[in-house]
């Protein structure tokens, strides 16, 4: 496996406009479901039904980010991200959802302030319009995604409201997140809201069918509804994109697309039947959506198996859908081995396994059964998608939930070695894919915070930040420090060294051994040994621009200008824009620790320092 230093070196070669950040979704973090004029969404009610989530958790509080958003942005800023992917809650913006329903000014203000604060922090907003939280009123009124005519109009109207209010500042739009999950998990397997399926234990028929919309008179039909819903999703997405392109793009100058989930399916062995099975799985997971959007038709195999259960596009519809994404939006987590057989239609009648023919596992097992770490699969999938769909790829989600992380203390949980290894492998794989010629424009690890993991509730933690759900305290895990250390978030670092009395131990508690770009050195014992070696290694290996100017009292280095004094700090930068002609400057040391990542931000902080003196 690559060393952190060699990774960091490669990361430096990423294109200048590469967007590295973190991703979240409204329902998973906001909470305050009944505050600020928000209307109910299908996930509010669904998650409150006993048995729908593993631990009985719901979205009422989540990570309380509707209230704590300023703190969240401060943390994102500390992490040094260049971009942040989040979603808007439709029912916060239009509480009843429909095109004739009122827009909620409080909802608009909330997101508007949020976007302003991100920009203020020099973080690029990457905004998803729909991350699964359909306004409940639209489901009840006409069957939600089951009703193509209605939902298309309402979704397009919602998109328009968002472009009108936020499009002056948002230049990266995603219409839908993972339509496969909406269709299959929401209407096929019935494990996600609205929880419909053919299984009448899971999804009973309504008690008074005559009181509900005709499309909702049964508990669902897993053989047909997912395909109907998927069709509505694709067409709604395409209408929103057309609207953006026709009415907004020319002056707002942003880009818009869809983001699809899809893992890699690798043949179990060299049996040709398993190779075909792997392709079938890719068709059912990815091709179902990506083929219409990028190639202009549903996959042949799906048409063959589903017959008239697969809706057909009218010529107008397919003309709209084909080409309706400016880029390939990619959410991916894992790789499975595909074996011919089984009767799971949603898997393309393919059996998935993580166990190789020799009995070994493909990779490290996560908390959720469906996820093992396998970096080579990430590289293969990036190549597959680029070759097939021929558009630049935005990786909009990728992440890992460490097994058992919820059963240990926060002190233990922050040592998230499995997650670090996952990111280490996948960062390398991403760089390898770029070297293979794949055009990749972003990397958004899932997730910024531990959060409401849908049907898993709160027991599955995907965050690089630990959240204590009792106190809402956020504690960075070591994986966040790793991502900063490989400079994924700071390709333009100038380098800064502060010498602070006592800063080290505080810093160490927060970030562990793999500290980010700021080193705190001082005369105190712990400060010294915790950071000294790290700093020295770093300096030698790949951080020539960060200098240790002084290091007093440890006997290994010459006492510098701080020897015998307190209250000093030194900023060093070879960049004349930062310090003028003199490359170093001594400052009082009582400033809090900060992490600096790019010229702009460093200049800001430095201005602050100067004011302080």
450 binds ligand PNW (CB under 6 A): no
The DSSP line for 173-189 is EEEEE-HHIIIIIHHTS
530 binds ligand PNW (CB under 6 A): no
Q: Pattern of binders to ligand PNW over 321-360, x per CB under 6 A?
A: ----------x-----------------------------
Q: Pattern of binders to ligand PNW over 245-274, x per CB under 6 A?
A: ----------------x-------------
446 binds ligand PNW (CB under 6 A): yes
User: CA 93, CA 105: separation in Å to the nearest integer?
Assistant: 7
Q: What are the tokens at 51? A: 């048995």
Options 462, 482, 489, 507; binder of ligand PNW; rule CB under 6 A: 462
Which residue minimizes CB distance to ligand PNW? 370
Query: Whose Cβ is closer to ligand PNW: residue 177's or residue 372's?
Result: 177
- CB 147 to ligand PNW: min, Å: 24
The DSSP line for 370-432 is T-B--HHHHHHHHHHHHHHH-S-EEEEEE---BTTGGGS-HHHHT--HHHHHHHHHHHHHHHH
- CB 602 to ligand PNW: min, Å: 33
- Give the rounded distance of the alpha carbon of 201 from its chain centre: 34
Q: Which of residues 365-384 bind ligand PNW (CB under 6 A)?
A: 370
Query: Whose Cβ is closer to ligand PNW: residue 180's or residue 248's?
Result: 180
183 binds ligand PNW (CB under 6 A): no
133 binds ligand PNW (CB under 6 A): no
User: CA 219, CA 381: separation in Å to the nearest integer?
Assistant: 36
Beta carbons within 10 angstroms of residue 272's beta carbon = 9
User: CA 357, CA 337: separation in Å to the nearest integer?
Assistant: 10
Query: Whose Cβ is closer to ligand PNW: residue 340's or residue 451's?
Result: 451
Q: What is the DSSP letter of 501?
A: T
178 binds ligand PNW (CB under 6 A): yes
Options 154, 317, 416, 453; binder of ligand PNW; rule CB under 6 A: 453
| Residue 405 falls in the annotated catalytic set | no
The DSSP line for 536-556 is HHHHHHT-TTS------SSSS
Catalytic residue (one of 30, 397, 517, 530):
397
Which is nearest to 527 in space by CA: 546, 511, 506, 547? Answer: 506
Strand-pair partners of 176: 130
Stretch that binds ligand PNW, among 33-41, 101-109, 173-181, 292-300 (CB under 6 A): 173-181
Query: Whose Cβ is closer to ligand PNW: residue 125's or residue 188's?
Result: 188
Query: Whose Cβ is closer to ligand PNW: residue 147's or residue 334's?
Result: 334
Secondary structure (H, E, C), 313-366: CCHHHHHHHCCCCCCEEEECCCEEEEEECCCCHHHCCEEEECECCCCCECCCEE
Beta strand ranges found along 67-222 (DSSP E):
83-87, 124-130, 172-177
Beta strand ranges found along 222-292 (DSSP E):
255-261, 264-267
Options 7, 10, 11, 25; binder of ligand PNW; rule CB under 6 A: 25
Query: Whose Cβ is closer to ligand PNW: residue 43's or residue 511's?
Result: 43
CA separation, residue 155 to residues 41, 72, 99, 264, 400 (Å): 14, 29, 8, 30, 31
- CB 423 to ligand PNW: min, Å: 15
Options 81, 146, 181, 351; binder of ligand PNW; rule CB under 6 A: 181
- CB 261 to ligand PNW: min, Å: 5
Strand-pair partners of 124: 83
Q: What is the DSSP letter of 574?
A: S
Query: Whose Cβ is closer to ligand PNW: residue 28's or residue 274's?
Result: 28
Beta strand ranges found along 482-596 (DSSP E):
496-499, 518-521, 569-572, 584-587
Query: Whose Cβ is closer to ligand PNW: residue 152's or residue 331's?
Result: 331
Active-site residue set? 397
**Binding-site ranges for ligand PNW (CB under 6 A):** 25, 28, 177-178, 181, 261, 331, 370, 397, 446, 453, 462
């Amino acid at each position: 496996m690559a060393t952190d230093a060699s990774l960091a070196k490669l990361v430096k070669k990423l294109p200048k406009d590469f967007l590295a950040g973190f991703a979240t979704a409204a329902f998973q973090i906001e909470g305050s479901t009944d505050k600020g004029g928000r209307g109910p969404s299908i996930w509010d009610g669904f998650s409150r039904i006993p048995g729908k989530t593993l631990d009985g958790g719901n979205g009422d509080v989540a990570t309380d980010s509707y209230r704590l958003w300023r703190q969240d942005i401060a943390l994102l800023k500390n992490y040094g991200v260049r971009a942040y992917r989040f979603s808007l809650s439709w029912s916060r913006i239009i509480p009843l959802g429909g095109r004739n329903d009122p827009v909620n000014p409080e909802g608009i203000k909330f997101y508007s302030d949020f976007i302003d604060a991100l920009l203020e922090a020099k973080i690029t907003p990457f905004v998803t319009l729909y991350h699964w939280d359909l306004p409940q009123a639209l489901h009840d009124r006409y069957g939600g995604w089951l009703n193509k005519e209605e939902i298309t109009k309402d979704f397009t109207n919602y998109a328009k409201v968002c472009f009108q209010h936020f499009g002056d500042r948002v230049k990266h739009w995603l219409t839908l997140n993972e339509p496969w999950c909406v269709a299959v998990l929401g209407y096929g397997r019935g494990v996600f809201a609205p929880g419909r399926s053919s299984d009448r234990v899971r999804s009973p028929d309504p008690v008074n069918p005559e009181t509900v919309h005709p499309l909702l008179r049964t508990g669902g039909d897993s053989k047909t509804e997912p395909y109907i819903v998927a069709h509505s999703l694709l067409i709604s997405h395409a209408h929103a994109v057309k609207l953006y392109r026709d009415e907004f793009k020319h002056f707002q100058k942003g880009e818009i697309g869809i983001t699809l989930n899809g893992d890699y399916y690798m043949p179990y062995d060299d049996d040709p039947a398993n190779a075909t099975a792997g392709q079938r799985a890719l068709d059912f997971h990815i091709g179902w959506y990506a083929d219409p959007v990028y190639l202009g038709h549903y996959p042949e195999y799906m048409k063959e198996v589903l017959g008239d259960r697969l809706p057909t596009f009218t010529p107008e519809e397919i003309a709209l859908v084909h080409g309706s994404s400016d880029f390939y939006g990619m959410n991916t987590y894992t790789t499975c081995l595909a074996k011919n057989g089984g009767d799971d239609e949603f898997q393309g009648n393919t059996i998935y396994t993580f166990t190789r023919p020799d009995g070994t596992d493909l990779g490290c097992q996560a908390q959720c059964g469906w996820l093992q770490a396998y970096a080579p699969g990430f590289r293969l999938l990036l190549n597959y998608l680029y070759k097939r769909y021929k558009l630049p790829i935005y990786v909009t989600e990728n992440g890992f939930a460490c097994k058992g992380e919820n059963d240990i203390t926060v002190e233990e949980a922050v040592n998230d070695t499995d997650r670090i290894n996952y990111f280490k492998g996948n960062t390398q794989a991403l760089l390898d894919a770029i070297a293979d010629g794949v055009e990749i424009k972003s990397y958004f690890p899932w997730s910024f915070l531990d959060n409401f993991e849908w049907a898993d509730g709160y027991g599955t933690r995907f965050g690089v930040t630990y959240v204590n759900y009792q106190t809402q305290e956020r504690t960075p895990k070591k994986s966040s420090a790793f991502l900063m250390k490989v400079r994924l978030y700071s390709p333009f670092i100038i380098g800064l060294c502060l010498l602070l009395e006592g800063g080290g131990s505080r810093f160490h508690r927060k970030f562990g051994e793999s500290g980010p770009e700021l080193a705190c050195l001082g005369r105190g014992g712990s400060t010294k040994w915790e950071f000294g070696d790290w700093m020295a290694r770093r300096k030698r290996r790949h951080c020539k621009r960060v200098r240790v100017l002084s290091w007093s009292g440890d006997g290994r280095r010459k006492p510098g200008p701080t020897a015998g004094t307190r209250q000093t700090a030194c900023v060093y930068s070879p960049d004349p824009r930062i310090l003028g002609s003199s490359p170093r400057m001594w400052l009082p040391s009582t400033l809090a620790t900060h992490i600096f990542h790019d010229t702009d931000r460093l200049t800001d902080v430095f201005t602050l320092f100067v004011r302080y003196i």
